[in-house]
Amino acid sequence: MKSMNHVVSNFKESIFSTMTKMAIENKAINLSQGFPDFDGPKWVINLAKEALDEGHLGKNQYAPSMGILSLREAISANYKKLYHLDYSASSEILVTNGATEAIFCACLALLNPGDEVIVLEPFYDSYLAAIELAGAKIVPVTLKAPNFTYDINEIKEALTDKTKMLIINNPHNPSGKVYDKSELSELCQFACENDLYVMSDEVYEFLTFEKAHIPTATLENMKERTITISSTGKTFGLTGWKIGWVCSSETIISAIHKVHQFNVFCVAHPLQVAMARALEKMDEYIIEFKSEYKRKRDLLVNGLKDAGLNVLNPAGTYFALVMLPEGENDVDYCKKLIVENKVAVIPTSAFYLKSDEGKRIVRFCFAKQDETLLNALKNLK
Ligand code: PMP
Ligand code: GLN
């Protein structure tokens, strides 16, 4: 047999699949993979049922490749209302199969073999795969625990004449960091001075507890060079629907769309119809959503503190990190926790390429029913 693609043959199983599988095998409480163990809002699910019943209007057939217009219009209206960002529904928004497909298509559309991408680690696993499949090279710069601050000099040192893109994930998985305006401004100034694309992964934009989320594209001179990515998976607790999007200039979106067109062509039509209708009611929904998650964060963080763990309080996302005592190793710690305490969490070394810091950190997900969180805490004590 001939060999496989050399990039693909180096890919490992995603840490999220591995840990969820281990949780099932060991009958452990799964606080590893980031998804809620409760259903999404009933009213949104009912909107999908209605859309499925509208098959006579073609809603069960292929959707337009860019996404249905009403969804693109709803996304555009929300960016305008929430952030004063102007994205044209007709040419500057593309609906994708979750943020993951947006990341993948953006990398394939914009990167050439040999290009370099600066990524702040720890980082979400699909960035590396997408960059490498485009033939480009990832250049990691470490956000330093426990505050996950970057050193601008390290970012400047990572720059070469091949650097084409910077990836920012804000709010940040796994740390829960929400970037300050001053940090974003500094990163954006760096991107502008060096004519870089900025891929801004903002899937947790509505999961901020103390600080407001600032979309990268709202910063001065940034809209044209920013590829803004988001997803309804987290916002509506419907990760299985895989409705995401990417917004940028018409030229960039047109390129990304070319990849999307030959990758999947389009996204599940009835779910787009439901999301378009749901996004119109975002204002009312989001208040309750945020306060529920803030409550869950406090429940987990206080419980972990009471259990004697060194937990960091996240400003955003639905993850909390625990710093392990000196001498512990994240992978061994996670194995022990699953087998002995019946709780599954993520070893964060999977999010690092350069630094060893991840070996001393594990990630807990609090997008879980109170009962699940309380049972996990009981097991940990
Ligand atoms: N980016 C980040 C930072 C994530 O944590 C995730 C995980 N859900 C994604 C992208 C992927 O989002 P989606 O499920 O919409 O593909
Ligand atoms: N983003 C989710 C997490 O960080 C997982 C997504 C996935 O399983 N691919 O846990």
C-alpha of residue 175 to centroid of ligand 1, in Å:
14
Note the pLDDT tens digit of each residue in 102-128.
999 999 999 999 999 999 999 999 999
The pLDDT score that the predictor gives to residue 68 is 98
State the average pLDDT for the chain. Answer: 97
Domain boundaries, the chain: 6-38+283-380, 43-281
| Superfamily of 6-38+283-380 according to CATH | Aspartate Aminotransferase, domain 1 (3.90.1150.10)
43-281 and 6-38+283-380 share a CATH fold: no
C-alpha of residue 207 to centroid of ligand 1, in Å:
13
Is 381 a residue whose pLDDT tops 90? no
C-alpha of residue 117 to centroid of ligand 1, in Å:
19
Note the pLDDT tens digit of each residue in 21-30.
999 999 999 9
- The CATH-assigned architecture of domain 43-281 is 3-Layer(aba) Sandwich (3.40)
Query: In testing the pocket of ligand 1, which one of 203, 229, 267, 366 has its CB within 8 Å of the most ligand atoms?
Result: 203
Note the pLDDT tens digit of each residue in 183-213.
999 999 999 999 999 999 999 999 999 999 9
β-pair partners for 152: none
- Look at the block and give the residue holding tokens 């969490």: 345
Is 250 a residue whose pLDDT tops 90? yes
Greater confidence (12 vs 267) lies with 267
Note the pLDDT tens digit of each residue in 356-373.
999 999 999 999 999 999
Q: Tell the burial category of 239 from Cβ atoms under 10 Å away from its Cβ (0-12, 13-18, 19+).
A: middle
Note the pLDDT tens digit of each residue in 266-285.
999 999 999 999 999 998 89
Find the angle CA(32)-CA(33)-CA(37) to the nearest 5 degrees. 95
Kind of pairing between the strands at 361-365 and 93-97: unpaired
In the chain, the percentage of residues whose pLDDT exceeds 90 is 97
The pLDDT score that the predictor gives to residue 246 is 98
Any atom of ligand 2 within 6 Å of the Cβ of 34 = yes
Is 318 a residue whose pLDDT tops 90? yes
Query: Hey, which bits of 6-54 come out as E strands?
Result: 29-30
- Three-state SS at 137: strand
Is the CB of residue 245 less than 8 Å from the CB of residue 93? Answer: yes
The pLDDT score that the predictor gives to residue 211 is 92
Confidence grade of residue 342 (pLDDT, cut at 50, 70, 90):
very high
Is the CB of residue 103 less than 8 Å from the CB of residue 117? Answer: no
